[in-house]
Amino acid sequence: MPMNTTIEYEVTGKYALFSEVATRIGGEKSSYQVPTYQALRGITESIYWKPTIEWYIDEVRVVNRIQTEGKGIRPIKMSGGNDLSYYTYLKDVRYQVKAHFEWNDNRGDLARDRNPAKHLDIAKRALARGGRRDIFLGTRECQGYVEPCTFGEGKGFYDDYGELDLGYMFFCFRYPDNCGDDRFTRKFWRVKMRDGVITFPRPDDESLDEFLVSDKKATPRFTLGRNLKSVEEES
């Protein structure tokens, strides 16, 4: 894709909870110290998404100091009534995100919808309005807010902090619609933050650890003119 397809935005919230299934044993939830690639991709797709494109998260900048807060929560039990669980949230979060989109090469049937300038224009307009869908910071009870920004602008708590090893973390899911086959996998990696910035590899990078979840997941289908508008119709 020859032209620039990058957006830069800031996302803020009072609380965030970025977790993975393995960290929810016994109903307790504890957040990672920083957002996962999957969570940031979900936020970006909430700003603007179509099956024609695939968003890639390039970098995230942690602006505020990493702080946690524990809360006693009474979730509803499937059998009725309430239970008592303790969740550990991140509090007062602020991140700057740089992301770009590329064509989803597995959706050749949507080639007529590949107009990069119009997709980028719609994405920026959606961002200026706070996104097309509600923004959640890892979980539904953690509301987030997005607005355009210049990545790296302003003072951050971890500026000139050096390298910080954040350990082994969940990276993302890879769905059949992205992989081009029937496999549904999840990926993990070891996270290192330098001066408050985390630079992400691509989801197909061989350095990521991959684990198969399912090889029989159906791919959702969208068809232009039936259940999907073209970018020209939207703009």
pLDDT digit string, tens, across residues 34-88: 999 999 999 999 999 999 999 999 999 999 999 999 988 777 777 777 777 788 9
Interval 187-192 mean pLDDT: 94
**Residue 76 identity (one-letter amino acid):** I
Please provide residue 25's backbone torsions phi and psi, each rounded to the nearest 5 degrees: -60, 135
Residue 24 has pLDDT above 90, yes or no: no
Distances in whole angstroms, Cα of residue 137 to Cα of each of 93, 110, 172: 9, 30, 15
Residue 157 has pLDDT above 60, yes or no: yes
Instruction: Give the integer Cα–Cα distance in Å for 101 and 25.
Output: 35
Beta-sheet pairing, 85-103 with 29-30: parallel
The predicted pLDDT at position 127 comes to 98
What band does 235 get if pLDDT is binned at 50, 70 and 90?
low
Interval 167-180 mean pLDDT: 80
Interval 108-135 mean pLDDT: 93
Interval 8-16 mean pLDDT: 98
CATH topology of domain 6-223: Alpha-Beta Plaits (3.30.70)
Out of 141-150, 181-190, 193-202, least confident range:
181-190
Tokens of 215: 């090889």
Tokens of 124: 């920026």
Instruction: Give the integer Cα–Cα distance in Å for 85 and 75.
Output: 7
Query: Collapsing DSSP states into helix, strand and coil, what is residue 33?
Result: coil
Tokens of 211: 């684990």
Q: Cα 181 vs. chain centroid, distance in angstroms?
A: 22
